[in-house]
Amino acid sequence: MSKAGRLVVLVSGSGTNLQALLDAAADPKFGANVVAVGADRDGIEGLARATRAGVPTFVEKLRDHPSRQAWDAAIAAKIAKYEPDLVVSAGFMKILGTPTLERFTVLNTHPALLPSFPGAHGVRDALAHGVKVTGCTVMLADAGVDTGPIVAQEAVAVLPDDDEATLHERIKTVERSLLVEIVGRMAREGWSVIGRTVRIGNQSEGESK
């Protein structure tokens, strides 16, 4: 049973999920602290949020390396410096490679109810398919695209007048809350993984949230 007290959070944009985690971690009862924030680009609000919170940051740009494999090794090394118990991919727009995935537990989110509508356009694809209910998923990252073991999911209704922007905004609100809840529970209660089943603390089989 692993426990997550030290978090490294990876971002590529505005960092709203990161901010939710920073806010939650301000309460000692949350059980986890963000010890570093990493990014794949400079000048983003996610890094600014970390700096304002006094959290160390690092940037590892893909273009600064001769190959994807070299970048994979470099970002894994940067993460390792902070000795995290859990890595949270919070809007990080790169697929992490074997050096990171084999060394750390990586938590990721997706704006759909996996395994439906994986990939970069989960909200758009759900709307195009005409579903009446979609939602968000918190999962453990693996080498695939949104294929890792599912930790938790929450449904979001699709309204008749929804477009991609309005639906995505409602999903993101639910996603932030669910991510904070799951990270906090993993920190306080621990978790285990058997095959594709992820259990937090004494969570009973079939409980998703």
Q: What is the pLDDT of residues 178-188, one digit of tens each?
A: 999 999 999 99
pLDDT(208) > 90: no
Are 146 and 110 in contact, with CB atoms under 8 Å apart?
yes
CA distance 173 to 67: 36
**Could you list the active site residues?**
110
Q: Which residues contact 18 (CB under 8 A, 6 or more apart)?
A: 9, 11, 34, 37, 46, 49, 50, 90, 91
Closest to 115 in 3D by CA, of 136, 88, 161, 146 = 146
Task: State pTM to two decimals.
Answer: 0.92
Q: What is the average pLDDT across 52-75?
A: 97
Question: Which amino acid appears at position 56 of this protein?
Answer: P
